[in-house]
Structure 1
């Protein structure tokens, strides 16, 4: 007699009850991937080169762990290592950043608006979009002045402080009193809020069907951009934001 291996039948699922699904994508995590990403975040303040010790310290990892993860990031172009042994960002983040901006398809309209805004105010101009619980500087135009606020395109900042943050929150469901005030005024001013030495003014930019596209604004050192100067610049920022909104179908 020959015996057969018969697989036991799977238990029948009750009718009317959907199959259990896994956790939402945002809740699914891979520790090794997150540790690798902390190495990239170590450069978020604009630092160009980091030694292995500096990299591991900023990421909160053992040097041996950082070394292994850095090797994988180098192979995929996220990091590069110079002859002296220091690490820097590789070409892949730049390529992905270009694809990210291309996804918004706003450059041809936003960049000229930033140029005009900087020419009229003398301060650094920026266009910010909301990305989850943070804001991203999608486009920027530097001030021509030697002392100016330096913000890199692609820089990620919090949504709980700063003029552009208040604008983005105000028109995407923000419920705090500051958000209601921004909705009423159509403008946000931040004096020493994100950084005690800087100030900013921002206004919303809308697209078709009144959809918020981002926040257009200027920022600079408080030695120039104080309360009275911010009040003077507010109508200029609003005017450029409204013109850009009309250009984009808002």
Structure 2
């Protein structure tokens, strides 16, 4: 009996997890295909999930996530600290690139290194959390300006690319790549950056850094706690 109950819970969760940004609404057949469950099983479990508010079924007969998932998601986000979601991203960036990874926010004419994880290499770009740097120089600063209220030609070009590379803009020995972190409401929350000794930041290193930064920024955007104010 216990095993049957556990199996039912696992199948119900599989149904909920089948929904994503590309599959926000699904028919009974589509859910069955996505979960490898029989239609009869899906129908039985979906009825329970619908009754409890975890699914809704519209007049078009398509299932969609219900209001209970929104409520639980909001509770989860309110319980998060920004560092809880940013620090794992920085760890993955350091693992992928071998370089220093940072998260910056804008503060007037400066940018603040809110979180960072330094490179394990002995020769590296070393940063401290809380360090303030000019916002008009360096990859992260330029990204914060461009995706903030920047309307100059350089900012428009950065927005079109989706990232910025810098080499010696602030420190002649440092190169960096940065991307914006934009939450699900379209609000700029900061910039993710990978910084390196300039001579080590060759074409291959840049490609790896940009790919990793974009992947992490995209993943991070959906997990950010609500912005204050």
Indicate yes or no: 2:96 matched with 1:120.
yes
SS of 2:199's partner is coil
Shift of 1:232: 3.4
Structure-1 separation of matches of 2:105 and 2:123: 26
- Greater RCO (Cα-Cα under 8 Å, separation 6 or more): 2
Aligned position for 1:133: 109
Shift of 1:235: 1.4
Matches for 1:135-154 after TM superposition, within 5 Å: 135-154=111-130
Shift of 1:140: 0.2
Q: Which runs of 5+ in 1 are unaligned?
A: 1-103
Structure-1 separation of matches of 2:208 and 2:97: 9
Matches for 1:88-107 after TM superposition, within 5 Å: 105-107=81-83
Shift of 1:240: 0.9
Q: 1:187 aligns with which of 163, 174, 184?
A: 163
Structure-1 separation of matches of 2:150 and 2:82: 24
Shift of 1:105: 3.4
Q: How many residues align?
A: 147
Q: CA contact under 8 A between 1:207 and 1:249: conserved in structure 2? A: no
RMSD of aligned alpha carbons: 1.7
**By percentage of residues, which structure has more helix?**
2
Shift of 1:193: 1.1
Q: 2:177 aligns with which of 178, 189, 201?
A: 201
Structure 1 pair 139/220, CA: closer, same or farther in 2 (3 Å)? same
4+ runs of 1 displaced by more than 6 Å? none
Structure-1 separation of matches of 2:151 and 2:115: 27
Structure with max Cα Rg: 1
Structure-2 separation of matches of 1:162 and 1:228: 20
TM-score, scaled to structure 1: 0.56
